[in-house]
Amino acid sequence: MTTTATSAGTATGTAPTSLKGVHALVTGGARGIGEAVARALLAQGARVTLLGRSEAKLASSAQALAAHGELGWVAADIADASAVEAAFASAAGRFGPVQILVNNAGQAVSAPFGKTDAQLWRQMIDVNLTGTYHCISAALPAMTNAGWGRIVNVASTAGLIGYPYVTAYCAAKHGVVGLTRALALEVAKKGVTVNAVCPGYTETDIVRDAVANIVAKTGRSEDEARAELARRNPQGRLVQPQEVADAVLWLCQPGAGALTGQSIAVAGGEVTVG
């Protein structure tokens, strides 16, 4: 792990009045939405830990973000509970307990249901749902002990509605939304909020992979494939990572204490009821 600072977080038991000095951990933080979220949090003065699987990508992202504030990174596979525990302990050793957790790491693989074997099913559940559970399990005790915390799960519109050819992914993301709603009720009186942000098709690696898959299977051009995905959005475009990051940042603010158990679609009006 590398870090640009070793300052402690805000005092245990003290509810912050701003994000300055607050320790935020962002999973899948080395690229796309995660990197945009990290940059937004750094701009507010938070101390940010990036978590991901690739040390090389984490180091590269950390170098790019280092000028924006106090930053560290830890490598772990979120599907591995022991690795997550070790990563969170390492992060806490530098910036104090995690006070804001952004569960952004995820993976999408498309296949017709008839070709969705048990291995693919487990992969989607392990990464998208169980990984979220592992990270919450590692962060929540310190949050409830301190009487303050923010958990934001980056789910998907696939957690609110159905899409063909991604049944396992949809099931996992629906699980994340259900986890969000249930846990929010459990910790409602403990100063911890739990919310989900549900992006539509966003300009990320997942969408680039989807475009490549459409091109390979249908013979359409890349522009035609992107247009097909963008058509689901009533605004006729792909969502940008910064737009998702802005929604996440809003939910992380100290003033967002009354917002909990929500699943907010960032999708240009594609989904209007969560």
Instruction: Quote the CA–CA distance of 8 and 145 in Å, as a whole number.
Output: 17
116 and 210: one domain? no
169 and 126: one domain? yes
Residue 114 lies in a domain: yes
Query: pLDDT-derived band of residue 244, with 50, 70 and 90 as boundaries?
Result: very high
Mean pLDDT of 152-170: 96
68 and 135: one domain? yes
126 and 228: one domain? no
59 and 92: one domain? yes
Domain CATH for 151: 3.40.50.720
Annotated catalytic residues are 169
Instruction: Kindly report the average pLDDT of the chain as a whole number.
Output: 92
89 and 215: one domain? no
Task: Decide: residue 4, CB within 10 A, 0-12 exposed, 13-18 middle, 19+ buried.
Answer: middle
231 and 183: one domain? no
93 and 56: one domain? yes
Residue 8 lies in a domain: no
**What confidence score (pLDDT) does residue 215 get?**
77
**What confidence score (pLDDT) does residue 222 get?**
80
Mention every residue, 6+ apart, whose C-beta is less than 8 A from residue 52: 27, 28, 29, 30, 34, 58, 73, 75, 76, 105
Percent of the chain topping pLDDT 70: 95
Query: To 5 degrees, how large is the angle CA 176–CA 182–CA 91?
Result: 60
Residue 101 lies in a domain: yes
Domain residues for 170?
23-200+240-261
Residue 230 lies in a domain: yes
Q: How many domains does the chain have?
A: 2
**Region of poorest pLDDT, from 11-15, 53-57, 167-171:** 11-15
Residue 92 lies in a domain: yes
Instruction: Quote the CA–CA distance of 80 and 200 in Å, as a whole number.
Output: 28
170 and 73: one domain? yes
pLDDT digits (tens, 9 = 90+) for 182-225: 999 999 999 999 999 999 999 877 777 777 777 787 888 888 88
Residue 3 lies in a domain: no
**Region of poorest pLDDT, from 87-96, 110-119, 120-129, 222-231:** 222-231
DSSP three-state, residue 7 = coil
**What confidence score (pLDDT) does residue 13 get?**
59
Mean pLDDT of 115-135: 98
106 and 230: one domain? no
Residue 30 lies in a domain: yes
62 and 188: one domain? yes
**What confidence score (pLDDT) does residue 72 get?**
97
**What confidence score (pLDDT) does residue 226 get?**
80
